[in-house]
Structure 1
Amino acid sequence: MIFVQSSRRSHLFITTCMVVLFSGSHFSVAAQETQPLKVAIVGLEHGHVEGFLSQLPKHTAVQLVGIADANTELWQKYGKKYSLPDTLFYKSEANMIEKTRPQAVLVYTSIGEHRHAIEIAAPYGVSVMVEKPLTISLEDALAIRKAARDHKIQVLVNYETTWYTSNRAAYEEVREGRIGEIRRVVVHDGHQGPKEINVPPEFLNWLTDPEQNGAGALYDFGCYGVDLMTWMMHGETPLTVTAVVNHDKPHLYPKVDDDSTITLQYPRAQAVIMGSWNWPFGRKDMEVYGATGYAITVAADQIRIRHEHDAEEHTTTAPALPARERDSLSYLSAVLRGEIVPKGDLTALDTNVIVMQILDAARESARTGRTVKLNKLGD
């Protein structure tokens, strides 16, 4: 009797320990999964860095561990404005990575410096998110793809319009077949001009330098529509690219275009992409016309839709995106946790290598006045 009771007590003790052990393991895994992503900034020359710094205090998904930029005046500017400690700042990207060991770097350099920043981060196994577009040439894009593959890192491209619920709703209209096969897409992006809207001087300097920006409005705003069209066409390469650019304000932008139109021809569809620094107001909207209906985005969250047999169009609020896809930082965190596989989406490297093929061809078309024929890129 005493032996049986002792056995029962032993069994109860072991069972209790196992429950505690496995519960502890569960909480440990959960804690690891909810740890903020360690990120660092490379470059302070891109004005979009303010969007990141302003949302940082409210964003629990990431922790800023370092900032690399050789310009100490920019350290002081942003350090003071956002109450950043001096210990965050480094002059060298490599040194910062070695000291702080981030899981990802957010690149806010000029577009022309993207390849360099990625090729520094890649050997450390550090993933990268850059501001749109990916880079300034197809050659650079292919080099970036090689670095990402060789070192098994993620390279992602942040476009503001990726997080517009209206764009996702338009995409779903096509994917679900509600407006039929795509026939024509028209995209408008841009604003009054970087000088007119008073972008910071360090931002304006490289935006208006073709060696650092690739072009003017053609790259700065044409990239949005090219990205959207490549996404909706599931990575299909267009047959031809034709582009024209204007220099309507040479007194302000003597070195780069300030207005652009890109036409993409597919076997059964066409896209017209208008990126400009000459709109009377800022805009980012898209018209998608299918064989049986259309979807027209209105700002970030509204969409006008007309289906076959509808007497008239109706306007609706687009459904919210999943939490991990509502902004660039949540998305980046989800990708690095393995919750999202970024293949074929707006931010993905495979999509954006094709975007660069198209933009490179558009720049050549504008330069020569000729249509450029494209072939599918090899892997």
Structure 2
Amino acid sequence: MKKLQVGVIGCGSIAQHRHLPEYAANKQIEVAAVCDIVKTRADEIAALYGAVSYESVEELLQNKEINAVSVCTPNYLHAPISIAALKAGKHVLCEKPMATSREDAEQMIEAARESGKKLMIAHNQRFVPSHAKAREILASGEVGKVYSFRTAFGHPGPEAWSVDGKDSWFFEKEKAFIGAMGDLGVHKTDLIRYVLGEEIVEVGSFVETSAKEFATVDDNAVCILKSESGIIGTLAASWAYTAKEDNSTIIYAEKAILRLEDDPVNSLVVQYQTGEIVKYELGGIQSNDEGGQSNSQVIDRFVDSIASDKESPVSGLEGMNSLQVVLAALESNETKKMISLR
């Protein structure tokens, strides 16, 4: 079978540490093209993977041999590039957050529908074994009604991770649109929706810039979320967890407490009301601390959906529903009101 020809648009850290290595490890794929506005960066990456280097997105999309693309650009370019790629007949894997507005997200979904091509949003937390297992346990009903949750994603900030350090687009409102809430918070809005199997219907928040004085976007946020069945909980996203990354979630249910990624060895710990404790050693969550070299499954799932013509593992609609919670958090902070998503 002929290998799928893939182009990677944007050659920053997420492409270098996640997309490109995972494509290279997939036997169904050939990395055929890379594109970056920094020509020397694109040329270096192209040489590493035996790909063609492009400085222009339009030129890459005109290459009829390319079957699919990864969009790894600054946030404000996600929607326009994804839409152009879908219209050019390419399958699209887009980094999160998928867009900077609901309108743009809807246009991406429509472009995918009209083109008949796959659109997947790179929400990798769904594929973490502890998260999938927790979803399974909750769905089975064995722990009874879920009452509450708290979830957090924080680290010292993207300056150590981004190829441009403190000069990164992550800190510029014009390019990023949103800071820690877009970088980390949207991961957790997607995770909570996935694990609970419910939509978030009400949002309140405090969103601040307190740790990165050079930034024009948020770096600390705490949100209160309410699901459609009345489950309430908190979500924290931060670039100010200076000593260590925190990527944990705790779910409080009628018959047990589930601790996800809260223990360094056991990625899921279920503490039952009876006193029984069940520990699952399922392998750790991906971390920026390790350079992000473990397989996220995002690429493999995307490739499989194309090769097997399956539904996208994280559809545009799913991406939009997770984005909406983040947008509501921004609105809540600005208006000082609770925001309804019903």
- Bin the TM-score by the shorter chain: 0.7 to 0.9
In the other structure, the counterpart of 2:339 is 372
- Choose which of 164, 171, 179 in structure 2 pairs with 1:201: 164
Q: Relative to 1, partners in 2 of residues 1:78 and 1:365: Cα closer, same or farther, differing over 3 Å?
A: same
In the other structure, the counterpart of 1:352 is 319
Aligned 8 A contact 1:40 1:102 in 2: yes
Confirm whether residue 306 of structure 1 aligns to residue 306 of structure 2: no
Following superposition of structure 1 onto structure 2, how do residues 256-335 of structure 1 map, counting pairs within 5 Å?
256-266=217-227, 267-279=229-241, 280-298=243-261, 302-309=267-274, 311-318=275-282, 327-335=297-305
Q: Secondary structure at the match of 1:67?
A: strand
Cα separation, 2, equivalents of 1:319 and 1:43: 30
* Displacement of 1:300: 9.4
Q: Relative to 1, partners in 2 of residues 1:353 and 1:152: Cα closer, same or farther, differing over 3 Å?
A: same
- Choose which of 74, 77, 89 in structure 2 pairs with 1:110: 74
In the other structure, the counterpart of 1:191 is 155
Following superposition of structure 1 onto structure 2, how do residues 133-152 of structure 1 map, counting pairs within 5 Å?
133-152=97-116
Deviation string, structure 1 residues 139-176 (Cα, Å, up to 9, x no partner): 21111111111222211111332331111111111111
Look up the equivalent residue of 2:205 and give its one-letter code.
A
Q: Which moved more, 1:98-107 or 1:121-130?
A: 98-107
* Displacement of 1:326: 6.3
Q: Secondary structure at the match of 1:283?
A: coil
Cα separation, 1, equivalents of 2:165 and 2:85: 23
- Choose which of 194, 198, 208 in structure 2 pairs with 1:246: 208
* Displacement of 1:89: 0.9
Deviation string, structure 1 residues 185-239 (Cα, Å, up to 9, x no partner): 21111211122x2521178521011232221112111111100122234352x33
Aligned 8 A contact 1:259 1:275 in 2: yes
In the other structure, the counterpart of 1:91 is 55
- Choose which of 84, 88, 111 in structure 2 pairs with 1:120: 84
Cα separation, 2, equivalents of 1:63 and 1:301: 36
Cα separation, 2, equivalents of 1:142 and 1:57: 31
- List, as ranges, runs of 4+ consecutive aligned residues in structure 1 with deviation greater than 4 Å: none
Q: Relative to 1, partners in 2 of residues 1:121 and 1:51: Cα closer, same or farther, differing over 3 Å?
A: same
Look up the equivalent residue of 1:241 and give its one-letter code.
V
Aligned-pair identity (%): 18
Aligned 8 A contact 1:38 1:65 in 2: yes
Cα separation, 2, equivalents of 1:240 and 1:75: 43
- Choose which of 337, 341, 358 in structure 1 pairs with 2:307: 337
Q: Secondary structure at the match of 2:168?
A: helix
* Displacement of 1:129: 0.5
Unaligned regions of 5+ residues in structure 1, if any?
Answer: 1-31
TM-score, L = length of structure 2 = 0.87
Deviation string, structure 1 residues 263-295 (Cα, Å, up to 9, x no partner): 111242013111110113112221122222121
Cα separation, 1, equivalents of 2:169 and 2:53: 22
Cα separation, 1, equivalents of 2:318 and 2:258: 22
Q: Secondary structure at the match of 2:207?
A: strand
Confirm whether residue 41 of structure 1 aligns to residue 4 of structure 2: no
* Displacement of 1:319: 8.5
Superposition RMSD in Å:
2.5
In the other structure, the counterpart of 1:212 is 175
Larger radius of gyration: 1
In the other structure, the counterpart of 1:67 is 34
Aligned 8 A contact 2:203 2:328 in 1: yes
In the other structure, the counterpart of 1:130 is 94
* Displacement of 1:110: 0.6
Look up the equivalent residue of 2:84 and give its one-letter code.
I
Confirm whether residue 162 of structure 1 aligns to residue 129 of structure 2: no
* Displacement of 1:339: 6.0
Cα separation, 1, equivalents of 2:282 and 2:161: 32
Cα separation, 2, equivalents of 1:125 and 1:227: 27
Equivalenced residue count is 328
Aligned 8 A contact 1:93 1:120 in 2: no
- Choose which of 137, 141, 165 in structure 2 pairs with 1:177: 141
Cα separation, 2, equivalents of 1:261 and 1:285: 14
Deviation string, structure 1 residues 73-129 (Cα, Å, up to 9, x no partner): 32244346xx244x6112222322332522210111011101111111112221100
Q: Relative to 1, partners in 2 of residues 1:203 and 1:122: Cα closer, same or farther, differing over 3 Å?
A: farther
* Displacement of 1:250: 4.3
TM-score, L = length of structure 1 = 0.79
Aligned 8 A contact 2:43 2:53 in 1: no
Cα separation, 1, equivalents of 2:247 and 2:124: 9
Aligned 8 A contact 2:75 2:97 in 1: yes
Confirm whether residue 221 of structure 1 aligns to residue 172 of structure 2: no
In the other structure, the counterpart of 1:230 is 193
